[in-house]
Amino acid sequence: MEIVRNTPWARSIYLLSFLLCVAIMAAYYVGCHRRREVLLDLSIDGVSVDSVLKNAGVSEDGSLEIVLNVPDPSDTITRLKRKGVALQKLVKKVPEVTRTSYPLTMDTPYVINNPYICTNISNLKFLVIVHSATQNFQRRRLIRETWANKNLFKGLNIRILFLFGLTEDDKVQSLIENESVVYGDIVQGNFLDTYHNLTHKGVLSFRWISEHCLHAQMVLKVDDDMFINPFLLLEKFYPLLKSKQRHILCHLRGKGSSPIVRGTGKWKVDDDQFKGYSHYPINYCNGYVVMISTEIILAMYRASYMTPFFWVDDVYLYGLLPLKAGGVTHDQIRNNMTLNVNTGIQCYTKTKKCQYLAVNAWKDGAIETLWYAALQQVTPQMREEINIDVKV
């Protein structure tokens, strides 16, 4: 029997068989990988072009025909013929498929947990959540002994929780573990305690409250360099928040008012995040002091499962998550806070009734000065509610 070799008819059969196999493999690949496209990095007429491979085949003259989609509105399909050039030689890179990331602390194990801080506590007015840095032992001590002292009031209760991540210093970690044993008010998450990980810290706080302290009547989140007047908090801001549902009180940054930092530097936001925007298109809070209705905490924690990670914690925690939770209103109280420590001290020491609920107290001795000045401004009615003998 004579075998016909290398005839046009035979070559056509071979080519059709080859293309059929390619088509079957491509269909299988698409079905399994949900139409993952092959990206080509090419140079056309000296211009670098990112293209998407649409088709490829061998012409009758033996040349390779490639059909590409290129980002040119005037010519969306470009056909390139490169005789004798293998397809794989044109493919310079196929980027890895990246997964959308979410906060690490949605469900990772606690490194240190104190789950009983709120257990069996009745009339729990405030749960104070302090975002602290691992090495700030002195700041935490002063907060416990002054404005967030859990024994401050007679007929009502406040509780405090300090949150931070991991430290690379074994000595500091050992001291933290001892601090937790002594005070029982620390939660440590399984992430490195850095500036760009503050979103993880905030989601951890929402998770902890959802699991252990939803009966608190109000959540007050502060940074560990802030002083809070607890008497003004109880007299003015607690009633204001409790008269409403699903509210957040804070230094509000209105939609479209805050620029997004591009380029380089500590506050840089990648170009693919909030793409096309020069300003944040949502309401959010400056996070140094935030008062939150407890009924929205669980909803915001659950929203973190559907909201991709964004490292700017103020935007993520007090903007994106409330937006995803829905029905949350932000109230502006920036006139009742100052980040100028000297302005705050002057207000408390030179006036009879300072209007500042919160003062930045980063300077040594500032918290003590503000605390004793606030005690001198306690009203007779409030003096009956506290466990301190205040002479006014």
Q: What is the mean pLDDT of each run of 10 residues along the chain (392 residues)?
A: 43 51 46 41 43 52 50 36 40 49 91 97 96 98 96 94 97 98 97 95 98 97 98 95 94 96 88 94 98 97 96 97 97 97 97 96 96 94 80 40
End-to-end CA distance of the chain: 119
| CA–CA separation, 303 and 297 (whole Å) | 10
Q: Which of 375, 390, 383, 356 is nearest to 233 (CA)?
A: 356
pLDDT of residue 36: 38
Cα distances (angstroms) measured from residue 162 to each of 25, 334, 375: 56, 24, 24
Query: In residues, how long is the chain?
Result: 392
Give one word for 45, left, alpha or beta, with left for phi > 0 and alpha for psi -120 to 50: left
What would you report as the CA-atom Rg of the chain, rounded to the nearest whole angstrom? 31
The pair of three-digit structure tokens given for residue 87, joined into one six-digit string? 């397809």
Q: In what order do the strands lie in the sheet with 186-192?
A: 186-192, 157-166, 124-131, 218-223, 284-292, 247-253, 329-332
pLDDT given at position 55: 56
Q: DSSP assignment, residue 51?
A: E
Strands lying side by side in the sheet with 226-228: 226-228, 358-360, 337-338
Helix axes 366-376, 341-350, angle to 10 degrees: 30
Task: Map out the domains of the chain with their CATH numbers.
Answer: 8-90 (no CATH), 104-383 (3.90.550)
Query: Which pTM was predicted?
Result: 0.74
- In this predicted structure, what is the pLDDT of residue 346? 97
Which amino acid makes up residue 91? V
